[in-house]
Structure 1
């Protein structure tokens, strides 16, 4: 299974668990492909929550206020 994850900010220590798991190939070892989307790739034009709502990614890390309607 292939998943895409939109980060909320440039990769940093808050993403350490995900980045370490990717580097140690834990996802691949368990049948998952993970593509990590850095928000700088579109110059922060689209928020992670917006990418998720537009189905551009499968998962997103976003601030809690992103889910308030």
Structure 2
């Protein structure tokens, strides 16, 4: 799923949600404004969520991951 994201969305999503970079570091390394970084991250997360919700069985995995992340 991540591989199908546009390059800018993929870069921001990986840095923030996979590598754990903070917003300031992501902006600096990718030469983005804070607003652009937030927009790209929001669009990437929305696209991933929408794709998960359309695949049978994936919603259960998504819910479990979200639950674990908020614990």
TM range (shorter): under 0.3
Higher relative contact order (CA 8 A, sep 6+): 1
TM-score scaled to structure 2, two decimals?
0.25
Q: Which has the higher strand share?
A: 1
Which of the two has higher C-alpha Rg?
2
Normalized per residue, which structure has more helix?
Answer: 2
